Structure formats: structure tokens, C-alpha cells
Amino acid sequence: MDVEKKEKYETLNEIRLRKEIVLSEIRRDNQQMAILWKELFKKPAPRKKGFTLASLMSTGAGLADGFMLAWKLYRKYKKK
């Protein structure tokens, strides 16, 4: 977009034509933004049961590993 661009209009018809062009550009940009906005907040496709089970197992294993690490550190550094 050229902000520095200065156009000279000689007649009212030139102004109307420029207005129509700018208005059509604004509407086209608005449609594109609406499409992008809808895609941004579109719900993800539902996962299959196998993937859900695998993610639950992975999360559970990570939690168990973290708990074991915390327990080992607690036992190693607890005050006697």
C-alpha cells in the first residue's frame, strides 16, 4: 500500500470510481479476514480412540515419571 501516493482528481466521476475501487478492495479484504478468523477458531477434528488412549498413556507415564523423580529427590535431600 502506498501511503505517500497522492492522486489528483479532476472530476466527481473520478472520485466515485476511486471510491468504488477502494470499497471493493475493503470488502475483499474483509471476506479474507472473516475466512481466516473462522479457521483460527475452528474446532479440531475428533480424534480416534486409539490416539486418545495413546495420549492418555503418554500423559500418565509422564506423570508417573515426574512423581518418581520428585520422590527420589525428596528422599535424597530430606533433612535427617
State the Cα–Cα distance between residues 9 and 15, nearest whole angstrom.
6
Query: What's the pLDDT tens digit per position in 22-45?
Result: 999 999 999 999 999 999 888 877
17: cell is: 470510481
pLDDT at 3 over 60: no
Q: How confident is the model at residue 80 (pLDDT cuts 50, 70, 90)?
A: low
More confident residue, 50 or 59: 59
Q: Which CA distances in Å does 15 have to 3, 26, 57?
A: 17, 16, 66
Task: Determine if the pTM surpasses 0.75.
Answer: no
At 19 the pLDDT is: 94
